[in-house]
Amino acid sequence: MTKNPVKYVPNALSTGRILLACAFPFSPEWLWLWIVLISGISDILDGWVARRWQVQSWEGGLLDGVADKLFILCALTTFIAAGKFSAWWLPALLARDLFVAFTAIYAMTIRSWESFKKMDVRWSGKVATLGQFTLFLVVLLFPDKIQPALFIAALLSVGAACDYGWLFLLELRLRAEKRESVS
């Protein structure tokens, strides 16, 4: 019985994005655009391949999310270090990512990892990621338009954080109701 080699493609693409994230801060500025483009394309492709050939897994989704967040963090901090924009934008730009990380930590501490695992990817999160990658392209291609792009990307990230927060609260409420019905 031969195994389907396509099942390794999404995770290979996510792993490649992790490597690009690690290389980004050390790359010359003339390469940044190519790294952002390749990273963005790999983000689109890994999900598409996983859905198209039905090789999705929770672990693959987690790897994809980690790759996204690591790339976004590395790109943002590199742009800040290069003086492209101020560091005070960072909390708003990373609001969704920080909320998801804190939610994962909280879920583990209250032994509610299953509640966290049930949190599906939301359109608000996809739009926030698109906003962040669009910001990267604006920083690199249209530096005179950085301020509006920063505002929009920050707004999308904060909106996604609120959306994920609402979803997690609903999941915790369901968990509490199940516990009460059992006792």
75 and 29, same domain (yes or no):
yes
- Report the distance separating Cα 114 and Cα 117, nearest Å: 5
Q: Quote the domain boundaries for residue 100.
A: 86-183
pLDDT of residue 59: 85
pLDDT of residue 55: 85
- Report the distance separating Cα 32 and Cα 74, nearest Å: 11
- Report the distance separating Cα 151 and Cα 92, nearest Å: 9
Domain finish residue from 64, 83, 102: 83
Q: What's the structural domain count of the chain?
A: 2
pLDDT in tens, the chain (183 residues): 457 777 889 999 999 999 999 999 999 999 999 999 999 999 999 989 988 888 888 788 889 989 999 999 999 999 999 999 999 999 999 999 999 888 888 878 877 767 666 667 789 999 999 999 999 999 999 999 999 999 999 999 999 999 988 888 887 788 788 878 877
- Report the distance separating Cα 47 and Cα 1, nearest Å: 26
pLDDT of residue 141: 98
73 and 90, same domain (yes or no):
no
112 and 24, same domain (yes or no):
no
Phi first, then psi: give them for residue 82, nearest 5 degrees. -85, 0
